[in-house]
């Protein structure tokens, strides 16, 4: 097969969507080196040693495609005609969009839609961004031959908001960064805990951007209710968002037991998961919930939210609370902290549930879906 990827996020985004793009691209190249690959990018790629090395070692033939005469706008208009000139069998838009000049024909069009949160929570987006995202998503839903949704929840949302997509959607789960597959290194964990000054006490880990939709406010309020009943501190990891000031202003109000580490490098993040007692992810809504699978990959028990995709992804590896209820979140945190048998059961389930997301199986599923279009 002659396969083209929108590699913009792979080369220019070091977090969620970038990780997904890199995992799909490098994984499929390694799994099926007999195919030819074209990686479309609008600008000079970032220096990503692990990704670049994985491409070189895949054994596949691949080519980095230039942006075109429209520069950064070629992603929206220009890559489609280039895909046809390259006689691609498959063009895969890896992050919710496809070129406007790519229409159904000999080149089969695949798009991954991760979520439609801009539809569910429009107040968290600027009007111009909502308009752009809607146009791009509608175009993808209309003209893609195959739409990959990262969860059943996302599939339902796509069908609800863009009914022209019905009959074209397949659920294709994703994996996390390959670093989460590596064996635990106790010495590295100890070094990182010392680096972040969290060696003295056990801690609960929450990984997500400090955004209102992630529900840190109710998490902190729930923690306040039980902090004197449990030994664990609460450690937050993630970049600043629209709730940052509201949350960070409370750092001095919890007797030093609330910590924010900002955004950390992936290797350090893995060690922080390994060092924690358990994790908490109280978000209101997600398309997949990467921190859930990251927790499961490290065999951790989880407190998460009822609804959305959370129970679909974590299954029996988590205790669930109404994200609107401070009391329910507090109750589940207290239970995991004080009930060692429940915690052990969830940790065992976490390791088991993670096997549902075995990367080779997920990638082979995508490749077989490509073949089904030809």
Query: Residues 240-264: pLDDT tens digits?
Result: 988 999 899 888 788 889 999 999 9
Alpha helices in the chain (DSSP H): 8-12, 16-31, 49-57, 79-85, 117-120, 127-143, 152-161, 186-195, 216-226, 244-248, 266-275, 290-297, 310-314, 326-338, 340-353, 359-373
Query: DSSP assignment of 202-239, as one string?
Result: -EEEEES-B-GGGTHHHHHHHHHHHTTTSS-EEEEE--
Q: Where are the domains of the chain?
A: 2-172, 178-357
Query: Residues 313-353: pLDDT tens digits?
Result: 999 999 999 999 999 999 999 999 999 999 999 999 999 99
Angle at 261 between CA 204 and CA 238, to 5 degrees: 85
Alpha-carbon span 356 to 214, nearest angstrom: 25
- Residue 68's pLDDT is 65
Token code pair at residue 276: 């924690």
- Residue 19's pLDDT is 87
The mean pLDDT of 355-367, rounded to a whole number, is: 96
Query: Residues 139-190: pLDDT tens digits?
Result: 999 999 999 999 999 999 999 999 999 999 999 999 998 889 988 888 989 9
Asked whether residue 14 carries a pLDDT value surpassing 80, the answer given is: no
State whether residue 169 is helix, strand or coil: strand
CATH class as words, domain 178-357: alpha beta
Q: Is it true that 2-172 and 178-357 share their CATH fold? A: yes
Token code pair at residue 329: 């979140």
Query: Residues 261-273: pLDDT tens digits?
Result: 999 988 999 999 9
Asked whether residue 66 carries a pLDDT value surpassing 80, the answer given is: no
The DSSP element (H or E) to which 148 belongs, if any, is strand 146-149
- Residue 337's pLDDT is 97
Between 3.40.50.2000, 3.20.20.70, 3.40.50.2300, 3.90.79.10, what CATH number should domain 2-172 receive? 3.40.50.2000
């Amino acid at each position: 097969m002659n396969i083209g990827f929108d590699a913009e996020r792979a080369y220019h985004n070091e977090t969620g969507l970038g990780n997904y793009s890199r995992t799909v691209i490098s994984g499929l190249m390694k799994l099926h080196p007999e195919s030819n690959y074209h990686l479309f990018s609008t600008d000079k790629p970032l220096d990503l040693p692990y990704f670049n090395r994985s491409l070189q070692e895949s054994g596949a033939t691949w080519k980095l495609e230039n942006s075109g005469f429209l520069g950064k706008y070629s992603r929206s208009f220009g890559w489609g005609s280039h895909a046809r000139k390259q006689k691609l069998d498959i063009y895969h838009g890896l992050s919710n969009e496809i070129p406007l000049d790519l229409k159904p024909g000999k080149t089969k069009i695949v798009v991954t839609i991760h979520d439609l949160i801009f539809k569910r929570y429009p107040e968290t987006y600027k009007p111009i961004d909502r308009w752009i995202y809607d146009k791009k998503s509608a175009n993808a839903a209309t003209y893609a031959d195959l739409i990959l949704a990262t969860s059943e929840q996302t599939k339902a949302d796509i069908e609800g908001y863009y009914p022209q997509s019905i009959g074209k959607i397949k659920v294709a789960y994703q994996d996390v960064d390959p670093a989460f597959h590596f064996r635990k290194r106790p010495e590295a964990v100890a070094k990182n805990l010392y680096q972040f000054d969290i060696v003295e006490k056990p801690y609960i880990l929450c990984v997500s951007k400090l955004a209102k939709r992630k529900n840190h406010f109710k998490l902190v309020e729930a923690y306040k209710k039980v902090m004197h009943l449990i030994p664990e501190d609460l450690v937050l990891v993630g970049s600043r968002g629209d709730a940052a000031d509201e949350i960070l202003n409370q750092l001095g109000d919890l007797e030093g037991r609330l910590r924010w580490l900002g955004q950390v490098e992936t290797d350090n993040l893995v060690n922080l998961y390994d060092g924690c007692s358990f994790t908490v992810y109280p978000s209101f809504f997600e398309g997949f919930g990467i921190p859930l699978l990251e927790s499961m990959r490290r065999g951790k028990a989880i407190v998460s939210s009822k609804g959305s995709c959370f129970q679909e992804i974590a299954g029996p590896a988590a205790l669930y609370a109404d994200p609107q209820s401070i009391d329910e979140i507090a109750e589940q945190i207290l239970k995991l902290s004080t009930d060692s048998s429940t915690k052990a059961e969830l940790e065992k389930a976490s390791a088991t549930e993670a096997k549902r997301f075995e990367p080779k199986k997920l990638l082979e599923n995508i490749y077989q879906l490509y073949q089904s279009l030809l």
